[in-house]
Structure 1
């Protein structure tokens, strides 16, 4: 969509990124708009696809998934069908939390959570070792989740002048 967004939209989005349960009334009181105006803006932001999804973010350790792995994957061939098949496998595998098609030494970088090393080994068996299109993969075990988030910086909108 080609709508114009302003710093008030950015303030709403910033608040929702940090607390998705914020009410329109609470946000409005914070930024100087009515709850109804905030609701209209949120609806517009959803329709524009700027708000892509609203979810609860869980602590993986608290639900029995204490291990986090970052895996770099190099494909045997970079053909469209091979890439698309790998993408589909990653989307379908519940253990995979994030998957990025990247440039550089690897073709894909994957982030996943597992109960234990056996859980991870089962993942590598079904997705890596049994796939003839995988040339190699490298696994890094996360020692400390220093920063984890899905918030998007909104500096470009916050620096714009607020409409009157």
Structure 2
């Protein structure tokens, strides 16, 4: 029987971790190539990937698009402070931010602010419209602060897997 973590997920072994490191760099790597790299058969790699997908360890497979290539030239990191941290206010903000396609990343945080968001927009006119819709016209938002990125030095979702 497979070991599980306290969260109820199957525990990852060294093969799983090695497979995940490869998939994070390029999820189109052929299973045969992964198998050769981690010393497993392609069939064993396929079974492990399917199990990690079923367990929610691999949440989804995506393509990372260069924002500049699709004319999304503004990247803003936004600190949002809510009027209070009561459940209805927080839940409403989470739902709004989750549904907004311009919000690329959203974190509910501690430390005096409520959320940190990463937002992309084609230009400042559109960015202002986004801030109006998400923050200025939102009764749940006490205030927000935008930090406009001057340059992207590192992006991506690769997690360091020991």
TM-score with structure 1 setting the length: 0.91
Give the CA RMSD over aligned residues.
1.0
| Correspondence 1:151 to 2:162 | no
SS of alignment partner, residue 147 of structure 2: strand
Aligned residues: 155
Q: Which residue of 1 aligns with 2:127?
A: 120
Q: Which residue of 2 aligns with 1:110?
A: 117
Cα distance in structure 2, aligned partners of 1:6 and 1:25: 19
TM-score with structure 2 setting the length: 0.92
Higher relative contact order (CA 8 A, sep 6+): 1
Cα distance in structure 1, aligned partners of 2:116 and 2:127: 15
Cα distance in structure 1, aligned partners of 2:87 and 2:28: 41
Deviation at 1:44, TM superposition (A): 1.1
Structure 2 residue runs without a partner (length 5+): 1-7
Structure 1 stretches of at least 4 aligned residues deviating more than 4 Å after TM superposition: none
Q: Deviation digits for residues 111-151 of structure 1, max 9, x if unmatched?
A: 01110000110001111111122111100000111111211
Deviation at 1:2, TM superposition (A): 4.3
Contact 2:72 2:120 in 1 (8 A): yes
Cα distance in structure 2, aligned partners of 1:37 and 1:146: 37
